[in-house]
Amino acid sequence: MEFPLPIVFDWLRSVLWPLFRIAAMLMVMITIGGSSVPARVRLLLAVMITAAVAPILPPPPQVELFSAEGMLISAQQVLIGIAVGFVSVLVLNTFVLAGQIIGMQTSLGFASMVDPSNGQQVPLVGQFYLLLTTLLFFAVDGHLLMIKMLVASFDTLPIGQGLAPSGLEAITQFGGLMFASALTLSLSAATALLLINFSFGVMTRAAPQLNIFAIGFPITMLSGLLILWLTLGGVLPHFHSVWQSGQVLICDLLALQCEVP
């Protein structure tokens, strides 16, 4: 059984370009794109998703696959996937940054471990918030929602059309929102620890012979653990708010009409 060469190239165009977009998102996406997940697993997952959705996707443009224009289209698909996956990284790094701020303020930042996603030493409190919000991300089916929106983007952002410059600017603005949200989450803990340190200053002024370093360090750590426990209730609504902002950003990037609850 023989297949003409134009039919083979049509099939390759209908499979490879969607694969580039899907695989690029999975390469950057939180947890799935981490170094702890083997590259073969990510590739197999991208191939399976592409094989499932390729028959329902709109036909790609009739462009030579190995021409300069074809390479440009391939780069556009990779950029779209990276941008969508990077939004999930920004959402979860909001809580990593908040955990690092709290850890440094409570002296719990001395305990650190290697972050499996980037191989860097980070405070243990930041890793705790990362694990907690990662579980929340998968509990609300965030990964499935991102795959669903990416598949829907082949209708609103067809192959051959790249991201708008305003979308890339929106990603940079969302980075500023990440720092503001992390500061908002850690503000209550930082304020409580400021009051504790202020009280130690008053004690030192009233009793200069008191060894504030021997007493203040363990009390600050114990107070930090107590504050960390008391502020856990605010993580869920804060995650819901930041994840909604991330969904709105993805919808803007992919030109989707989304109704975020």
> Which ranges of the chain have pLDDT less than 70?
1-3, 5, 107-123, 207-216, 259-261
The pLDDT assigned to 23 comes to 92
Q: What is the pLDDT of residue 22?
A: 92
Neighbours of 69 (CB within 10 A): 12
Q: Provide the pLDDT for residue 165.
A: 80
Q: Which two tokens stand for residue 112?
A: 């650190």
Residue pLDDT, tens place only, 236-259: 888 998 999 999 899 888 888 876
Cα separation, 151 vs 55, in Å, equals 12
- Residue 32, pLDDT score: 85
Distance between CA atoms of residues 108 and 154, nearest Å: 46
257: which DSSP letter?
Answer: -
8-41 per-position pLDDT tens digit: 777 778 888 899 999 999 998 888 887 778 888 8
pLDDT at 48 (0 to 100): 93
The pTM (predicted TM-score) of the whole model is 0.83
Distance CA 61, CA 73 (A): 10
| pLDDT at 66 (0 to 100) | 80
E strands, the chain, in order: 112-114, 121-123
pLDDT confidence of residue 185: 84
For position 93, what pLDDT does the model report? 87
**What is the pLDDT, as a whole number, of residue 1?**
56
